[in-house]
Structure 1
Amino acid sequence: FAELHAAVAGLPVASSRVLPGLILRRDFAAYCPAGGDLRTVLVTEPLRPALAARGVQFAVDSEGQYQASLRWVARRTEALMKHLQSSNVKLLLSSVKQEEVVIYYAKLYGVSVVECLSSEEMALICEITGVSPYAPFGDNIHREITETAVATFCQPLLLGSKRCVHIGFTSVCAFQPHCLILCGPVDAVNEQHAAALQGAFTMLQQLFKRVDQ
């Protein structure tokens, strides 16, 4: 339920509404408007390539080597973004914060980025879309990208003073997600309403389980 509702304080209760899709309570790290269905990739690791394997110390002997290493990272990151663009990927959903070089090339190649998604949000999106996170690095970063979801829309949404992302997916299951926007004069009222609704939904869920049995 936590991923399927958002609370907005300072508005009348009558302003509450239900929206199709999900509300991600963070702003775009990069926003490149695009029409139609959006091919979407989920990632759970930084897209900026590491200079050394985890646990291995990387040492440089000179400023020249250091700058050469940074250029290699930039070229590798750009190559990945070019590959995403050529694969018609328009949206990256990331559970980790991406480096500035990733955001720079994402904007350059027309790929929107939403980062710092929670594990619960990622799990819900995986359940809705049936896809697994994409692992870009390995022997061949230019391999075919098959782990993609389809977002039917993805756009900014202002809830009170907070900028959010409103996104809808083509679902592979019977579950068609909708998000409840709870409005109230203060946070405490919204919390009470959210708790009451969650309790009601839990009761209905248990009731339907008994009927199915």
Structure 2
Amino acid sequence: FAALHAAVPGLPLASSTVLPGLVLSRDFAAYCPAEGELRAVLVTEPLRPTLTAPGVEFVVDSEGQYQASQRWITRRTEALVEHLQSNNVKLLLSSTKQDEVVIYYAKLYGVSVVECLLPEEMALISEITGVLPYAPFGDNMYREITETAVASFCQPLLLGSKRCVHVGFTSVCAFQPHCLILCGPVDGVNEQHAAALQEAFTMLQQVFKRVDQ
């Protein structure tokens, strides 16, 4: 329920509504408008590559070596984002904050980025789409990207003063997600309404479960 509702203080209760799709509680780190359906990938790691494996020390002996390593990282990052574009990926959904160089090349190659998503948001997207996170630094970075979800739309959404992302995914199951936008004068009222609705939904689930049995 936490990932399927958004609270908006400062608006009358009558402004509450239900929107198709998901409302993600983050703004775009990079927004590149795209028409029609678009392919999206989930990532749980930084896309800016590192020079060594975790726990391995990398020693730079000179300024020249340092500059060369930075150029390698930049070229590798650009190649990865270009690979996303060549696989028609238009949306990158990340649970981690991405480096500025990733955002730069995402804008350059027309890939929208939403970062710092909550674990429950990532889990819900995986459940809806049946897609697991994409691991870019495996055996072959340039393999075909098959871990893609299909979104029918992805656009900015302003809820009060908070900028969010409104996205509609093609579901692989019977569940068709909708997001409840709860409006109220203050946060406390919205929290009370959200708690009451969650209790009501829980009770309905239990009732239908008993009927099915």
TM range (shorter): over 0.9
- Secondary structure at the aligned position of 1:140 is classed as coil
> What does residue 189 of structure 1 align with?
189
Pairing 1:1-213 to 2, within 5 Å after superposition: 1-213=1-213
In structure 1, list runs of 5 or more residues that go unmatched.
none
Alpha-carbon deviations, 1:83-123, whole Å to 9, x = none? 11111000000010000010000000000000011111111
SS in 1 for 2:85: helix
* Matched positions, count: 213
Q: Which runs of 4+ in 1 moved over 3 A?
A: none
Higher mean C-alpha deviation, range 169-178 or range 130-139: 130-139
Distance 2:85 2:10 in 1: 41
**CA distance in structure 2 between the partners assigned to 1:194 and 1:26 by the alignment:** 20
User: TM-score of the superposition, structure 2-length normalised?
Assistant: 0.99
Q: TM-score, normalised by structure 1?
A: 0.99
CA deviations on 1:30-70 (whole Å, 9 max, x unpaired) are 00000000100000011000111001111100011001000
Counterpart CA distance in 2 for 1:210 and 1:131 is 31
The residue identity in structure 2 corresponding to 1:25 is: S
Give structure 2 stretches of 5+ with no counterpart. Answer: none
Which secondary structure does the structure 1 equivalent of 2:60 belong to?
A: coil
